[in-house]
A and B are shown apart, each in its own frame.
Chain A
Amino acid sequence: MSLAVTSTSRGRHYEALPVAIFLVLALAPLAAAFGAETYLLGLFTRVMIYGIAALALDFICGYGGLVSFGHAAFVGIGAYTAGIFSAHGITDMAITLPVALLVSALFAWLTGTVCLRTKSVYFIMITLAFGQMIYFVAGSLSPYGGDDGMTLKLRSTLFGFPVLQNDRALYYAVLVFLLASYLLCRAIVASRFGRVFRGARDNPTRMATIGYDVFRYQRVAYVIAGCLGGLSGFLLANATEFVSPSFMSWQRSGELIIMVLFGGIGTLHGAIVGAAAFLLLEDMLGGITENWKLIFGPMLVLIVLFARGGLLGLTQSLWERLRRG
């Protein structure tokens, strides 16, 4: 029996795109060697780190319909875990990374238990509220720099070796984490669990009446997204060698949503494109004028209004138009 075509299967050029994205990211440091290497490596490392957080947000948002306005909280938690450990001289990521993920998971589990009882706008507001809560908590941690944040003495080590000390090593470590996160999300989306999670977005009542406890599935997905957010923050602390409450401000949460919309929601690799577009544009426009947000804002509105699928959707429809001639 042939039962091939289903809603999860995609056309060919959809597959080519993620491959291209990761190829570009893998080769970028080679090109960077000819230019301002430290600067470009740093920029692309941040792109990939935010890519992980945006990916996680796209996972719950684009596939589960859970629009979180507090996702930066997890980035902050991951970053502060690395920061606080480092302040006490513990830098081995065999310890600090699992703890960062665990704390993120715990925060996601607890807040998810509350947030996921609500729907749509209320969900947005409550995730925002929890995000702000953790933001103020971080600001009040005076031993760890309070509102100003603190610098990390040392990047994470692995079994005593300073594996991330070199910028290139850090870059490729982040790339591996991004690739792993991407493949993980892709697998989950297509799995039994992912199908239930996607079904719950389409029609939660229907899912409940065929026997699924929608809330529990959503909470597990929320925890997964929280962990990836934490991973992103953990890497961010290493890349910038600095942590501050600003990592988890509501603006950062909003920027993550923008990245997801920008790249094309519900595609996963779109979130990476969105993170790249956002950070590169910010960087370029920021170089031209201090008021770059005045240009950036309207651009964003135009993309979201006219290209429903974000940048990916835009290139997709251009491509199809070109082929038809």
Chain B
Amino acid sequence: MAEPVPNPVLRIENLRKSFGGLVVTDGVSLDINAGELHAVIGPNGAGKTTLINQISGTLEPSSGAIYLNGDDITALPPNRRAERGLARSFQITSVLPRFSALENVALAVQARSGSSYQFIGRADRESALNDAAMQALTEVSLDSRADILAAHLSHGEKRALELAIALAMQPKLLLLDEPMAGTGPKESERLIVVLQRLKGRFAMMLVEHDMNAVFALADRISVLTYGRILASGAPAAVRADPAVMTAYLGEELE
């Protein structure tokens, strides 16, 4: 008998989502294996964010199934998925504005270390939480800004903070929704380096318009248009696919 094939970290089976008459996820199936970085590209409105929302549990699919490490998580709320090692960043920055950068990350650490039903003792003085949070901030070069309120961080710094929050969760699967959106070329370069370093530690789904980033980082690429996967495969194969060329990549690869 052959060795049993290990479960992919993420398996999506025939996922569908419609808003009224508008079908935004149209029978999407895909697998992401351990350590793999799977990029999802496609024009605006293709349904990339909607797909990530369904995987992370903030949006309920109309039909289909989602498996995390072989377990059906389709019906689980977002917090239960997070407990199982699913982390995400948001296309539109989503941090806790009235908390310092450090506390934003420390809350993610706290979620994974002991009970949060503790009513005495200052949480912001727990050095185990703060140290782990600081480590995550250092990974995204935000350690010097640890004490700044998240609301006062620059846009690029907030993007980095989102990543630090996700890292502090010690994810098994990380979903990144356009982490480079709105950042300058310098910051994008820096983020690519950070992601390069993280690659292989856990499975990642990267939604990104920056083609430099996508082709520098991806092990596999899926092209999404009108909620369907138009093509999926190794970067070179996707780049050469004539359907992809006409539908999406055309002008950018000339």
Q: Is the CB of B100 within 8 A of A211?
A: no
> How far, in whole Å, are A146 and B43 apart by their CA atoms in the complex?
67
Q: Is the CB of A193 within 8 A of B117?
A: yes
Does A212 reach chain B (CB closer than 8 Å)? yes
Does A191 reach chain B (CB closer than 8 Å)? yes
Q: Is the CB of B147 within 8 A of A202?
A: no
Contacting residue for A195 out of B57, B123, B149, B165, CB 8 A:
B123
Does B102 reach chain A (CB closer than 8 Å)? yes
Q: Is the CB of B131 within 8 A of A193?
A: no
Q: Is the CB of B117 within 8 A of A211?
A: no
Q: Is the CB of B121 within 8 A of A192?
A: yes
Q: Is the CB of B116 within 8 A of A192?
A: yes
Contacting residue for A193 out of B83, B116, B134, CB 8 A:
B116
Stretch at the interface among A1-9, A234-242, A267-275, A312-320: A1-9
Does B248 reach chain A (CB closer than 8 Å)? no
> How far, in whole Å, are A191 and B57 apart by their CA atoms in the complex?
28
Instruction: Give the chain B neighbours of A187 by CB distance below 8 A.
Output: 119-120
Does B98 reach chain A (CB closer than 8 Å)? yes
Q: Is the CB of B110 within 8 A of A206?
A: no
Q: How far, in Å, is B153 (CB) from chain A's closest CB? A: 13
Contact string, B28-50, partner A, CB cutoff 8 A, digits 1/0? 00000000000000000000000
Instruction: Give the chain A neighbours of B122 by CB distance below 8 A.
Output: 8, 190-191
Q: Is the CB of B121 within 8 A of A191?
A: yes
Contacting residue for B119 out of A191, A199, A211, A212, CB 8 A:
A191
Interface-centre pick from B82, B83, B119 (highest chain A CB count, 10 A): B119
Contacting A at CB under 8 A, from B61-120, are 77-79, 82-83, 87-88, 90, 94-100, 102-103, 107-108, 110-112, 115-120
Q: How far, in Å, is B85 (CB) from chain A's closest CB? A: 10
Chain A's closest residue to B96 (CB) is A202
Contacting residue for A5 out of B118, B123, B147, CB 8 A:
B147
Query: Size class of A's contact patch?
Result: 20 to 34
Does A220 reach chain B (CB closer than 8 Å)? yes
Q: How far, in Å, is B177 (CB) from chain A's closest CB? A: 11
Interface-centre pick from B97, B98, B146 (highest chain A CB count, 10 A): B98
> How far, in whole Å, are A5 and B99 apart by their CA atoms in the complex?
11
Q: Is the CB of B169 within 8 A of A210?
A: yes
Does B18 reach chain A (CB closer than 8 Å)? no
Q: Is the CB of B124 within 8 A of A8?
A: yes
Instruction: Give the chain A neighbours of B77 by CB distance below 8 A.
Output: 208, 213
Contacting residue for B96 out of A188, A193, A203, CB 8 A:
A203
Known A191-B118, A194-B123; contact A6-B100, beta-carbon cutoff 8 A: yes
Q: Is the CB of B107 within 8 A of A195?
A: yes
Does B58 reach chain A (CB closer than 8 Å)? yes
Chain A's closest residue to B147 (CB) is A5
Does A251 reach chain B (CB closer than 8 Å)? no
Instruction: Give the chain A neighbours of B102 by CB distance below 8 A.
Output: 3, 6
Q: Is the CB of A202 within 8 A of B98?
A: yes
Interface-centre pick from B83, B96, B112 (highest chain A CB count, 10 A): B96
> How far, in whole Å, are A8 and B96 apart by their CA atoms in the complex?
13
Q: Is the CB of A196 within 8 A of B56?
A: no
Q: How far, in Å, is B38 (CB) from chain A's closest CB? A: 19
Does A217 reach chain B (CB closer than 8 Å)? yes
Instruction: Give the chain A neighbours of B98 by CB distance below 8 A.
Output: 7, 198, 202
> How far, in whole Å, are A255 and B36 apart by their CA atoms in the complex?
58
Q: Is the CB of A199 within 8 A of B79?
A: no
Instruction: Give the chain B neighbours of A211 by CB distance below 8 A.
Output: 79, 82-83, 108, 111-112, 169
Q: How far, in Å, is A101 (CB) from chain B's closest CB? A: 16
> How far, in whole Å, are A6 and B126 apart by their CA atoms in the complex?
12
Q: Is the CB of A208 within 8 A of B58?
A: yes
Q: Is the CB of B116 within 8 A of A1?
A: no
Does A291 reach chain B (CB closer than 8 Å)? no
Instruction: Give the chain B neighbours of A195 by CB distance below 8 A.
Output: 103, 107, 110, 116, 123-124
Q: Is the CB of A206 within 8 A of B56?
A: no
Residues of A within 8 A of B (CB): 1, 3, 5-9, 187-188, 190-196, 198-199, 202-203, 205-214, 217, 220
Given contacts A6-B124, A210-B107, 16 further A-B contacts (CB under 8 A): A3-B134, A7-B99, A187-B120, A190-B124, A194-B123, A195-B107, A203-B97, A206-B90, A206-B95, A206-B96, A207-B96, A208-B58, A209-B87, A211-B112, A211-B169, A212-B116
Identify 28 residue pairs between A and B in the complex whose beta-carbon atoms are under 8 Å apart, listed by A's number. A1-B130, A1-B134, A3-B130, A6-B100, A7-B98, A8-B122, A188-B119, A191-B119, A192-B116, A193-B119, A195-B107, A195-B110, A195-B123, A195-B124, A196-B110, A196-B116, A198-B98, A199-B96, A199-B99, A203-B96, A205-B58, A206-B94, A208-B57, A208-B58, A208-B78, A209-B88, A210-B111, A211-B169
Listed from nearest, the 4 A-B pairs whose CB atoms lie closest are A211-B82, A211-B111, A202-B96, A192-B118
